[in-house]
Structure 1
Amino acid sequence: MLNIVFAGSLARLALAGGDPADLDPAEPELPLDGRPDLAALERALDHRLGVVRQLRDLTREQAIAEESATQALSRCEEAVTEAGFADLGSALAAALPAAEQERLSTAVEAHRARLAAVTEVLADAPDPGEEHALPDLEVLAARHADAHAGLATALTGATTSRVRAERLDALVLELTGALETWAPVQEQLRLATSVSAFVDGRSADNPLQMRLSAYVLAWRLSQVVAAANERLARMSDQRYSLEHTGRRGAGETRGGLSLLVRDDWSGESRDPVTLSGGETFVVSLALALGLADVIAQEAGGTELDTLFVDEGFGSLDPDTLEDVMDTLDSLREGGRVVGVVSHVTEMRDRIPVQLHVTKGRSGSSVRLSRGV
């Protein structure tokens, strides 16, 4: 046994890089001059001492390994005996291939899984000793039929929805293409709509909400107001004058053609609707005369030879009536024919030529007369 251990140690020493010749206890070689080399001798002894120590360690490891092998062999023989085999050779002969072992292991695991599932179902199952009513097969069959019909309806609805979804996707693509094609037209429409709203006074960029036509007429109205103020100053004893404003007046939805009446006696401007009936007549007459003056200027100096004033004189006080008649007389002296329709008796002395209309049972009659 010692020879085996020593042989194994030599093999381990060779594998570890040692030289078995190093175990030779012979004396080291001496120099040729017959005197020993102490340094060489010391190195040889140190080397041999290291080899002996390695041999001792390997011998100890070999003993431990043999003990472990003996114990493993004993346990293996016990396991073989417990498995019912006569000896280790019989057990090795009965061993299955690795592939077969893997298949059987998989089958065992599947069986365990099924067994666990069945065990869980059986655990939830009612106690066999308890009495339970038998299921109503007709009711269950009716429910099954209803469920089957519902499934058919659901499948039909799913098919219809899928077809509609595909059609909707196609329509979306078609609509997207149409919108891309219509985009330039839409931009032109937006520009035209914006300009139209601005011209019509409905745009936020038009703070006065004034139409383009009103904007053009506003300039003309300012001329009419300037001409009317010359007449109005004479007829109102220098009290009233007209002001053109861009603000919206009472009852107006658009601005640009509104007027304010300035009272120079109080220094305030007010809406024309606050005027009395006589004041309204005077202002309206001044505007009519101012319009006639502007038209005459635009027509190259051509005068409007005839002017008719219908009613309104009865609402004037005597002083205002006198001022209005003076204005009309000045127009008549300038060569114009001024016709006045009125029931005011005081005007008869101021109108040289008069047409009297008299009512009768057989109709109305007209009579021409000349004043004083």
Structure 2
Amino acid sequence: MRLHRLEITAFGPFGSRQCVDFDALSAAGLFLLHGPTGAGKTSVLDAVCYALYGSVPGARQSGQGATLRSDHADAATRTEVTLDLTVAGRRLEITRQPPWERPKRRGKGTTMDKAQTWLREYDATAGAWKDLSRSHQEIGEEITQLLGMSREQFCQVVLLPQGDFARFLRADAEARGKLLGRLFDTRRFAEVERRLAERRRATEAQVREGDAALLADAHRMQQAAG
């Protein structure tokens, strides 16, 4: 997976639209997100996770994302996150908007707009983006399948937020093995291990049969010798 661009509007501490150009940042190799407490470092990672899975790590997620809205945003500005990325050889763009309690266009009071999600794919031949889906479920299943990780696994292994990596290290061997197996696609090694185990069992059976035959021959020779 490679991130290209992240656009954040009215999300976390970001009241207005902010754009993170990951291609420009990674042009020189590694880059570092740094800043004082409250500057929004974790919120940038939360925005990536929210774009991919429609939720953020741990206790920061509640109310279907409604609590992700920035307290600094204008009342008429809707919370939105857009992530442009390449995964499994496909250039995709995911846009998510959590539920939004906005001022009514007529009269006083507020009304609630439902959450919205869009998935687009870049068609290199046509040189344009094409719409794929606006279904939360379809998009969630597609992204999970392409990444090969659930949100919980993504947060444990990729984001590693605020000490959660320690939780991964403390997980039992079976849980870590399953996760690492999916991450690094170790199925081919498991298949080799299975075939070697089958050959070992077959060879052991042949050895036992040979031993039994030798013992039988020795017994017959002993009887013949009187």
TM over 0.5: no
**Structure with greater helix share of residues:** 1
| Greater relative CO (CA pairs within 8 A, separation 6+) | 2
**Structure with greater strand share of residues:** 2
TM-score (norm 2): 0.28
Larger-Rg structure: 1
